[in-house]
Amino acid sequence: MADLDLLVIGEINPDLIVRGPDVCPAFGQEEKLVDEATLTIGSSSAILACGAARLGLRTAFLGVAGEDQFGRYMLDAMARRGVDVSSCIVDRGLRTGMSVILSQPHDRAILTYPGAIGALRPDQVDRSLLRRARHLHVGSYYLLDALRPGLPALYAEAHEAGMTTSLDTNWDPSGQWNGGLAEVLSHCDVFLPNEAEARAIARCETLPEALEMLASLVPVVAVKLGAEGGVAYTRNLAKGVAHSSALSGAKRDAPPSQGLFHALALPVDVVDTTGAGDSFDAGFLYGYLNGWPLDRALRLACACGSLSTRAPGGTTGQPTLEEALLAIRNE
Ligand SMILES: Nc1ncnc2c1ncn2[C@@H]1O[C@H](COP(=O)(O)OP(=O)(O)O)[C@@H](O)[C@H]1O
Ligand SMILES: [Mg+2]
């Protein structure tokens, strides 16, 4: 019997967000003063896990941290937000990664020290978690260097254990957009890229072409479009949301919907878009795991993404389920 809704496997690193009108470093030992510096939960996957827990999904996280202050900070902060981190691995021989985000009003630059980010190996994944959770999500595919080759087998094991699966690759720093991804996608029930990632992975010029290509591999594709909201596409709904609803035993609250849907972002006063895509994922998976129709899952996802931009960092602005439902009711 599943005692967890969601198992997230991914990377662990804090973000140091430095904000101001001019955060461009000046070499030559120049000192500049900035408006604000915030140490906060980083890592796409960890931000997603916190967003899911905030919405009420019973969520566990698996990743590797070093035995150091950054690692302890991350594990404590995730636990405080209701994420079960008891299976995370603390490796004395590694140092926890860190991102420094230089954020000015219309742009940001990121410096990442990878540290332990890519260290998790397939044999370190506690297989009992696959029997305890209903759904497996993996984030930051292109950063998980040691795990990547074992992911198709891990997803296949998850399916055998009765789980549904999803993936958000995020950006590929190598620019290759490959790494055996097609094989992983063939084991995926939900794929959650943003538009640039979707086009790069599908090797298509336009979003409609990319959606068509990706939907030939994955039953449900939801693509994030920043301030434009998002789209969700399925060629065969019966294999997508219905599958998850059968697993959960949840009742659908509307007749099946098919095809392509677009949902708008909420008009919010944007403070910081860090992690908006991860909060979108959390909202989408909430709807998916509760057997919602695709269009409603997408609207919740967009609301969660937009509301997360209200505060600096990925997790501070993440909505409760009540807040997110209120936002989509008022649309
Ligand atoms: N400027 C914005 N205004 C309102 N909502 C936004 C804005 N940027 C992002 N969002 C919300 O967050 C979601 C995900 O953001 P996006 O930036 O597309 O993801 P990613 O971080 O993966 O690139 C969007 O679908 C949208 O709902
Ligand atoms: Mg993203």
State pLDDT tens for residues 81-134: 999 999 999 999 999 999 999 988 778 899 999 999 999 999 999 999 999 999
From CA 268, how far away is CA 265, in angstroms rounded?
8
Q: How far is the CA of 266 from the centre of ligand 1 (A)?
A: 9
In sequence order, the β-bridge partners of residue 262 are 231
Structure-token pair, residue 112: 């990442």
Mutate to test the pocket of ligand 1, among 47, 231, 309 (most ligand atoms within 8 A of CB): 309
Q: How far is the CA of 196 from the centre of ligand 1 (A)?
A: 13
From CA 226, how far away is CA 299, in angstroms rounded?
14
The reply to whether ligand 1 has any atom less than 6 angstroms from the CB of 227 is yes
The reply to whether ligand 1 has any atom less than 6 angstroms from the CB of 207 is no
Burial class (CB in 10 A: 0-12, 13-18, 19+), 288: buried
In sequence order, the β-bridge partners of residue 233 are 221, 260
pTM metric for this prediction: 0.92
The strand ranges marked E within the chain are: 4-9, 14-19, 36-41, 59-62, 64-66, 89-91, 98-104, 107-113, 133-139, 164-168, 190-191, 220-224, 230-234, 259-263
Structure-token pair, residue 278: 């991860």
| Helices 44-55 and 321-329, packing angle to 10 deg | 80
SS3 at position 51: helix
pLDDT for the residue numbered 249: 38
Split at pLDDT 50, 70, 90, the class of 8 is very high
Could you tell me how many residues make up the chain?
A: 331
Mutate to test the pocket of ligand 1, among 171, 223, 224 (most ligand atoms within 8 A of CB): 224
Q: Is residue 83 within 8 Å of 50, Cβ to Cβ? A: yes
Q: Give nearest CA residue, ligand 1 atom 19.
A: 277
What is the number of the ligand 1 atom nearest to the C-alpha of 226? 18
pLDDT for the residue numbered 237: 59
Please determine, for residue 34, whether its predicted confidence score (pLDDT) is greater than 70: yes
The reply to whether ligand 1 has any atom less than 6 angstroms from the CB of 196 is no
The pLDDT of 273-300, averaged and rounded, is 96
Split at pLDDT 50, 70, 90, the class of 242 is very low
Q: What does pLDDT average to over the chain?
A: 92
